[in-house]
Structure 1
């Protein structure tokens, strides 16, 4: 990799926010899902969650592969499972949802571990999701329509989260777990080799300071001999 490429990848990873995420609750339109993934990447969200059926998710991945390179999208079949898991990890769950108790989206403290929950444009949140979120927020509007497009709403709220986190210095130092950081760096820089390793259950080879595979001919020879380390072998 060129020095410029290395600097770009590391610069992005240095600003990833492991405690900021998005949950889409049966947002079926592929263009909306893809736009939300791009919004996530833009503000440093490393992983988002999509509650969607198998068929819709397969079609979505087919249209958003470029965005998926940079944001890990986890699929769930039930909003309850996704939200319960995040709440057990200490995330506050904030839904963009028209509700009598909803507050201005800017009133939320997004420097806390936060999951932004978004429902489909017409039906909003499912009953399961609405029952589990901690807080509902709205974006003040002065026109005739009641709400923004879901991907636009996501961008507006995530931009506020980014503003708050920047003021708090949360983008000033790497915050990803070190193993996740280095694994992601390898996958971004060497996607074909990463896929090769995943298909065969191999550990990723080490990289040198130039971001290239260290002694690649030796590593490939060890693969052919069946002597390359297996994924997870260091853990037993």
Structure 2
């Protein structure tokens, strides 16, 4: 663990936003999933949620450029379960969806616990997802095309969320619980050891004040 890496990991963790997330509704293209993960990392989202698509997908590492190792992907078997689960955790679910109750995406208060719901291209957010959402937002467009690529729309809306949160100083202090922060740090710093520990139900080894293993670790 170099001092530079130790500092970088801590700086990123101190900007994570546990009450901001994204939920996909049947987005199945690997490039889009990977790009959404990258968007999440860029604005400090630690957990991204996704509904298992009818068409299987695999991560597209070329687009994610390694971001998938920094963001946890939580899968749901239906949009209903995903939305309700997040609402029970205190999130307001905001669908990127045109309807009679849609508002400009800049008019939503993203400093409150918010989950952005995004649908697949062409199909958009499902009827069930839209019905369950607490609000609908749109990105105004003046061109010939009727919609944006899902990852582009996510990037635009999440940048607004980041801007609002930055104005309120929400990136100026660590907002993760101490235990969760420690676990994420270890997974980032020592991913192979963490994977083995998770598979075997073992506690992570202890680290010193500069992020090094206190004792040499060997499996078994």
Decide: shared fold, TM above 0.5: yes
TM class, shorter-chain normalised?
Answer: over 0.9
SS at 1:48 equivalent: strand
Per mean C-alpha deviation after superposition, the further-off stretch among 191-200 and 149-158 is 191-200
Q: CA deviation at 1:61?
A: 6.9
Task: Quote the offset at 1:197 in angstroms.
Answer: 1.1
The equivalent residue for 2:105 is: 105
> Structure 1 residue runs of 4+, over 4 Å off?
61-65
1:70 aligns with 2:70: yes
Contact 2:31–2:60 (CA under 8 A) maintained in structure 1 = no
Question: What is the CA distance between 1:60 and its match in structure 2?
Answer: 2.8
Deviation, 1:215, is 1.6
Partner of residue 35, structure 1: 35
CA-based RMSD: 1.6
Residue-pair matches, total? 219
**TM-fit CA distance, 1:88:** 1.1
How big is each residue's C-alpha offset from its partner over 1:42-92, in whole Å with a ceiling of 9 and x where there is no partner?
Answer: 0000101010238624x2377758222110000111011111011111111
Distance in 2 of aligned mates of 1:194 and 1:109: 36
Give the aligned partner of residue 196 of structure 1: 196
SS in 1 for 2:66: helix
In 2: Cα distance, 1:147 partner to 1:102 partner: 15
Farther off after superposition, 38-47 or 193-202:
193-202
Distance in 1 separating the partners of 2:16 and 2:171? 8
Q: Secondary structure at the match of 1:117?
A: strand
Q: What residue in structure 1 maps to residue 59 of structure 2?
A: 60
TM-score normalized by the length of structure 2: 0.95
Quote the offset at 1:127 in angstroms. 1.9
Q: Which runs of 5+ in 2 are unaligned?
A: none
Aligned residue for 2:140, secondary structure, equals: coil
3-state SS, counterpart of residue 23 of structure 1: strand
Greater radius of gyration (CA): 1
Deviations 1:178-218 (A, max 9, x none): 111000000000011111212222110000123111021xx
